[in-house]
Amino acid sequence: MVVDPLSGSLWMEYDPGPARPALEGAAEAEVAVVGGGVAGLCTAWELARAGHRVVLLEADRIATGVTGHTTAKLSALHGRVYAEVRSVHGARAARLYAHSQQLAVERVAEVSEELGIDCDLERLPAFTYTEDPGQVDALRAEADAALEAGLPASFTTRTPLPFPVAGAVRLEGQAQFHPRKYLLGLAADLERLGGRIHERTRVTRLREGSPCRLTTDRGATVDARHVVVATHYPVFDRSLLFTRLEPKRELVVAGPVPADLDPGGVFLTEEGGTRSVRTAPTGDPGRRLLVVTGEKFTPGTAEEGEVGERYARLERWARERFGPLEVTHRWATQDNWTTDRVPYVGRLHPGARHVYVATGFAGWGMSGGVMAGALLAARVRGREPAWTSLYDPVRLRPLREVPAMLRLQAQVAKHFVGDRAPGAYADSVAEVRPGQGAVVRVGGRLLAVHRDEAGGLHAVSARCTHLGCVVHFNDGERAWECPCHGSRFDVSGRVLEGPATRPLERERVEDAADGVDDVNGPQGGGAGDAGAA
């Protein structure tokens, strides 16, 4: 199954508003924020509101990447996180995590009301559920841990879902909303406050100092006292966070259902590769849009046809539980998991005095990004909220993190070595079928070759421009993906998602079918990730 490339994120249908100019020449600011997703925009807005001169740089359009492809559940109930945080970090840390995440939920409600942003915000309960009786004790423990952390959580065996569950954790006072409506409203207010936003501006270099200097791919510069790197996956990694981050990709399908099938909550189970459920308004009071997420996998590891099969499984699951469903939207989202389940928000590295980072939200980027904006704005202003040390990226807890780090690096080493092994690729360009892609060894070089539906070839270097892993083709989304750190590129080599900041180099190949040299057309320079800056 090849997914219709014209279907996409529900949120991306919203008018993006006026384009902001790319940065030219030299600029100065008190704070420069790299990345225009939820964490970057919230940080920039909080600082501008506090009176700071802020410039925000985004490689594509603001709120179009991960933020534009989220499911936009706004909750402090993050699966089974509280029992794990309590076990790894202690009871106080679990309380700080709960308080900071719930404050983020309330912050969106407060700000949207204050600024008059109509972002389809709906307050409702959140559930983490199981259909497996063998997992009930674990969910009881999670409910106890969340309650101990200060949240009004409870265990229940009944939910509003139209199918039975064995047990669930219920948390009142959570929300769902339209992320782009909220963030574009925030961006407009940021500019009203004097902040500057530059789109189509890819940052490629950071020099720390007094001031710090950012340099873009077009040679423009920004000098700033403070820099915030909010690029989803850090494009500058001087504390080796890539050894402690694991990228995961999830698929999303959506379609209209009768309003009486709306369960009136946000739901998650970690079973079956994860299943997440919410709804959204359609403009018709008799219909709601059912949004289902799941089928988690590591980018760059899917076999041919696997992504399409995963979409099909997700659709079958939705129809089995909610009845007939005409899927009108398909998209995918990506996030990074830390080795101890807590995001990295704070100093970029141990010696950093003026450079901060936000990453590792583990699929909860809405509350995490809003929390990060408030935390980083406070840090820049010389304040330290009670949860500063909990999220500090330079923390390292060997008993918990070292085994996970070794596992991640073993996976990376496997791709560095194994993906270059003879026989791991197509033997010739002629083997690449229309609509497909493969890595082909040509004259000692590894080329990533895609043949479009019309038979034309698109060839680029198969080595990721981040750290050199060999990319793999995702035929469900028609993109090249790096299995090491999650960078993604379109078939012409353009960066779709970081940490890579440079496109894959174009290559020329001979098509044995017609004896003609084929090469890509012109490459774009933008990115498809809000924060892949």
The answer to whether residues 454 and 506 belong to one domain is yes
| Overall residue count recorded for the chain in this entry | 533
- pLDDT on residue 267: 98
Please report whether residue 392 resides in a domain: yes
518 pLDDT more than 50 = no
Instruction: Looking at the structure, tell me whether residues 187 and 229 fall in a common domain.
Output: yes
Measured CA to CA, the distance from residue 128 to residue 213 in angstroms comes to: 44
471 and 350 within one domain: no
Helix (H) or strand (E) holding 172: strand 167-176
- Given a contact cutoff of 8 angstroms between Cβ atoms, the answer to whether 146 and 153 are in contact is yes
358 and 379 assigned to the same domain: yes
198 with 224, same domain: the answer is yes
pLDDT mean over 166-176: 98
Residue matched to tokens 């009881």? 140
Per DSSP (E only), the strands in 230-386 are 245-258, 266-269, 275-281, 287-297, 329-338, 344-347, 355-359
Token readout for 340 is 């101890």
Are 383 and 511 found together in one domain? no
Using the 3D structure, point to which of 352, 379, 396 is the last residue of a domain.
396
- Reported as a single tens digit per residue, the pLDDT across 311-335 is 999 999 999 999 999 999 999 999 9
The conformation of residue 504, written as its DSSP 8-state character, comes to P
Angstrom CA distances, 335 to 181, 204, 234, 263, stand at: 21, 21, 12, 26
The b-or-e profile of 88-125 (16+ CB within 10 A means b, else e) is: bbeeebbbbbbbbbbbbbebbbebbeeeebebebbebb
**Same domain membership, residue 390 and residue 421:** no
| Per-residue confidence (pLDDT) for residue 531, from 0 to 100 | 36
Tell me the range of 383-387, 456-460, 462-466 where mean pLDDT is highest.
383-387
Residue 148, pLDDT score: 98
Question: Once rounded to an integer, what is the mean pLDDT over residues 24-47?
Answer: 97
Token duo for residue 213: 């200097």
Do 61 and 196 belong to one domain? yes
**CA nearest 479: which of 514, 531, 436?**
436
Are 340 and 397 in contact by the 8 Å Cβ rule? The answer is yes
Range(s) of the domain holding residue 23: 11-69+180-243+341-396
Whether 298 is covered by a domain: the verdict is no
The bridge status of strand 266-269 relative to strand 122-130 is: parallel
Identify each DSSP E strand in 208-328 by its residue range.
212-216, 221-229, 245-258, 266-269, 275-281, 287-297
- Confidence tier at 487 by pLDDT (50, 70, 90): confident
DSSP assignment, residue 455? Answer: S
pLDDT at 227 over 90: yes
- Let me know if residue 80 belongs to a domain: no
pLDDT of residue 512: 58
Average pLDDT over residues 156-183: 97
Residue 114 token pair: 């204050």
Q: Is the pLDDT of residue 533 over 80?
A: no
In a domain, 147, yes or no: no
Q: Is the pLDDT of residue 513 over 70?
A: no
pLDDT tops 70 at residue 248: yes
Local confidence band at 401 (pLDDT 50, 70, 90 cut-offs): low
- 55 & 191 share domain: yes
Considering the domain architecture, whether residues 422 and 504 belong to the same structural domain is answered as yes
By mean pLDDT, which of 385-389, 427-431, 492-496 is the weakest? 427-431
CATH code, domain with 372? 3.50.50.60
Question: How high is the mean pLDDT of the chain?
Answer: 87
86 occurs within a structural domain: no
Lowest mean pLDDT among 23-37, 120-134, 407-421, 502-516: 407-421
Long-range residue pairs from 305-312, CB within 8 A, at least 24 positions apart, any chain: 305/1, 305/475, 306/476, 307/3, 307/251, 307/474, 307/475, 307/476, 307/477, 308/1, 308/2, 308/3, 308/475, 308/476, 309/1, 310/251, 310/273, 310/476, 311/1, 311/3, 311/251, 311/253, 311/476, 312/1
Which residues 6+ apart lie within 8 Å of 405 measured at CB?
243, 244, 339
How many angstroms separate the CA atoms of 258 and 261, rounded? 6
CB 26 within 8 A of CB 220: yes
**What is the total count of domains within the chain?**
2
State whether residue 257 is helix, strand or coil.
Answer: strand
Report how far apart the first and last C-alpha atoms of the chain are (Å, whole number).
32
* Residues contacting residue 525 through CB under 8 Å, at least 6 positions apart: 200, 202, 217, 494, 503
**CATH number of the domain within which 418 lies:** 2.102.10.10
Note the pLDDT of residue 532.
32
Strand partners, 516: 511
The pTM of this model reads: 0.86
Average pLDDT over residues 285-289: 94
**Residue 223 burial by Cβ neighbours in a 10 Å radius (0-12, 13-18, 19+):** middle
- For the chain, helix (H) and strand (E) counts, in that order, are 9, 26
366 part of a folded domain: yes
458 and 516 fall within a common domain: yes
